[in-house]
């Protein structure tokens, strides 16, 4: 059989390191054992694991469409090199099968039937967890910076980020070239005499430039963002947790001017706090119509004074539906997705075994990395001593030192990213996972409306689509769908090799008082 090797790397460290070489060597060794004739090697390089995934899928499909008659097997190093999400994985898999192209992993036992097929499905789910966890780590890093008073993005107009030696992220400083225009904007708007359009025309007439000399063009939407941004009074906000924090940067305007602008914009002196939840409508915010618009809800009074609840499309494109009908259908949906106890026990038995193995493997890898770092640090120190003693010339010293520092940088990043939590309580983790997927309907019914919203949002990460008489096929929490996969395949896998050190799912924890916490990753 003829084979094509598909190599995929997702960041600059892998490009400059030995990831490509290692992947190709392993894939060639696997192909030789299987008797495959290698006809081509396709390399997919990118800077981010999330960037241009759609483009990657399209390019791989184009290659297969053009060359499908030339090969029978597509060999990858690992499943996570093939696709980063279950959606892309199964989509690509189906397209390959239509071309009579088989997918094989050089390091995992996958196939088209029985146990290998089940393992492939679980691995695809696990790899999606891995990508989600990396994204969550990035967000947590940004939140830590915000807690420190720093702003990990480009600051708004009127500020700039200075380059400070030895600091990865500095404090935003006032951009004196254009900060005066920002102060003028707040002052004029707080007077109540200027519209957004009039402010834009006036400021643009002054030809304002920033510290780089680039002309700043003001427009209505930008001015709205400026006057509502608490950054200008010394605070930071973000779209990750939407919390306002005190920043280390200096404010451009006073709190009094900021509040006055807010009052002018809102047209009233005080804002009204509105309750966002309603005991009668726990599904509001979760469901939408086939038109693509979210459902709102309201109570209607009947002829005899009785109150009836209805869900309806905000744009009035999908009709009105009694809340009792949708609540009944929602409970039936929870029953349908409830995993069987035998499948839950089987899934977590597999999970426990592989988690234990991979923690040991991860610790060993970290120890090797640490050992190599110490060796390089010793070599670097020895190199400095040789230069001081005049044993080597300047050019040789500079070249070798640069090489050592580059490898040390890559190894330090590798050690940080591969951080293994050796203190993880496996039994506690499994108990938490089982509690989340057990008695789903009963738990939802017993919760107050605020906790219902948190719990159902963890089960259904995307909106539920109501067709008029039932739900469209929903996207279910990956942990639940993976357990239900065991029942669908009706086989016990011989072994699974997850691509991460532990499987974590973002979901609420039950608290001692019977309520639910905010969704968190359990580690």
Instruction: Give whole-number Cα distances, 314 to 284, 416, 462, in Å.
Output: 11, 47, 18
d(CA 90, CA 86): 6
Domains of the chain (ranges; CATH) run 2-107 (3.40.50.1390), 159-266 (3.90.1750.20), 287-335 (no CATH), 438-521 (no CATH)
CA-CA distance, 300 to 297, in Å (whole number)? Answer: 10
Per-residue pLDDT of the chain (523 residues; tens, 9 = 90+): 899 998 877 654 444 444 778 888 999 999 999 999 999 999 876 544 444 566 777 788 888 889 988 999 999 888 766 665 666 677 777 888 888 898 888 887 776 565 555 555 565 555 555 565 666 677 777 888 888 889 988 999 999 989 888 777 889 999 999 999 999 999 999 988 888 888 999 999 999 999 989 999 999 899 999 999 999 999 999 888 888 899 999 999 999 999 999 888 887 444 444 556 788 999 998 999 988 889 999 988 877 778 899 999 878 777 889 999 999 999 999 999 999 988 888 888 888 888 778 777 777 788 888 898 899 999 989 999 898 888 889 889 888 988 888 888 788 777 766 655 555 677 887 888 888 888 999 999 998 888 888 889 889 989 999 998 899 999 998 888 888 887 665 544 444 334 333 344 445 555 555 555 555 544 4
Q: Is the pTM of this model over 0.75?
A: no
Helix residue spans in 418-464 (DSSP H): 426-437, 440-446, 449-459
Torsion angles phi and psi, residue 232, rounded to 5: -75, -10
Angle between helices 114-147 and 86-98 (to 10 degrees): 150
Largest interatomic CA distance in the chain: 101
Q: Which two three-digit tokens encode residue 320?
A: 């009105």
Name the phi and psi angles at 173, rounded to 5.
Answer: -115, 155
Nearest CA to 129 out of 483, 455, 477, 473 is that of 477
Dist CA 522 CA 311 (whole Å): 34
Contact 362, 465 (CB under 8 A): no
């Amino acid at each position: 059989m003829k084979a094509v090797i598909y190599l995929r790397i997702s960041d600059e460290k892998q490009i400059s390191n030995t990831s490509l070489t290692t992947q190709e060597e392993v894939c060639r060794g696997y192909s030789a054992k299987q008797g495959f004739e290698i006809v081509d090697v396709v390399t997919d390089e990118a800077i981010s694991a999330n960037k241009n995934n759609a483009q990657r899928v399209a390019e791989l499909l184009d290659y297969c469409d053009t060359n499908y008659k030339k090969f029978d097997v597509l060999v990858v190093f690992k499943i996570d090199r093939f696709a980063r999400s279950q959606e892309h994985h199964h989509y690509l898999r189906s397209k390959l099968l239509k071309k009579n192209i088989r997918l094989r992993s050089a390091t995992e036992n996958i196939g088209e039937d029985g146990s290998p097929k089940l393992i492939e499905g679980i691995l695809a789910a696990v790899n999606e967890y891995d990508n989600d966890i990396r994204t969550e780590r990035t967000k947590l890093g940004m939140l830590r910076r915000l807690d420190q008073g720093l702003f990990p993005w480009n600051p708004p107009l009127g500020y700039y980020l200075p380059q400070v030696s030895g600091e990865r992220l500095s404090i935003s400083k006032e951009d004196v070239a254009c900060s005066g225009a920002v102060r003028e904007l707040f002052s004029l708007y707080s007077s109540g005499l200027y519209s957004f359009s009039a402010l834009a025309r006036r400021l643009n007439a002054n030809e304002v430039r920033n510290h780089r000399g680039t002309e700043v063009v003001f427009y209505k939407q930008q001015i709205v963002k400026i006057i509502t941004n608490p950054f200008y009074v010394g605070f930071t906000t973000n779209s990750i947790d939407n919390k306002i924090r005190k920043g280390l940067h200096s404010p451009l305007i006073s709190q009094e001017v900021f509040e006055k602008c807010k009052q002018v914009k809102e047209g009233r002196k005080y804002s009204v706090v509105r309750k966002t939840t309603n005991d009668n409508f726990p599904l509001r915010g979760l469901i939408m119509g086939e038109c693509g618009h979210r459902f709102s809800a309201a109570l209607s009074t009947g002829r005899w004074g009785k109150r009836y609840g209805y869900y309806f499309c905000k744009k009035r494109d999908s009709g009105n539906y009694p809340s009792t009908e949708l609540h009944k259908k929602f409970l039936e949906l929870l029953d349908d997705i409830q995993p069987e106890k035998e499948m839950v026990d089987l899934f977590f038995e597999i999970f426990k075994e592989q988690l234990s193995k991979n923690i040991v493997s991860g610790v060993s890898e970290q120890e090797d990395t640490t050992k190599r770092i110490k060796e390089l640090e010793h070599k670097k120190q020895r190199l400095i001593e040789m230069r001081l003693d005049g044993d080597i010339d300047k050019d040789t010293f500079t070249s070798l030192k640069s090489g050592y520092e580059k490898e040390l940088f890559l190894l330090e990043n590798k050690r940080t990213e591969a951080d293994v939590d050796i203190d993880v309580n496996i039994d506690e983790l499994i108990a938490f996972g089982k509690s989340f997927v057990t008695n789903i309907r009963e738990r939802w019914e017993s919760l107050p409306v605020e906790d219902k919203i948190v719990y159902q949002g963890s089960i259904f990460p995307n909106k539920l689509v109501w067709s008029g008489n039932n739900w469209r096929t929903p996207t279910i929490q990956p942990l639940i769908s993976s357990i239900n996969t065991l029942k669908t395949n009706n086989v016990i896998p011989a072994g699974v090799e997850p691509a991460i050190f532990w499987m974590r799912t973002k979901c609420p924890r039950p608290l001692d008082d019977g309520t639910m916490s905010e969704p968190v990753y359990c580690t």
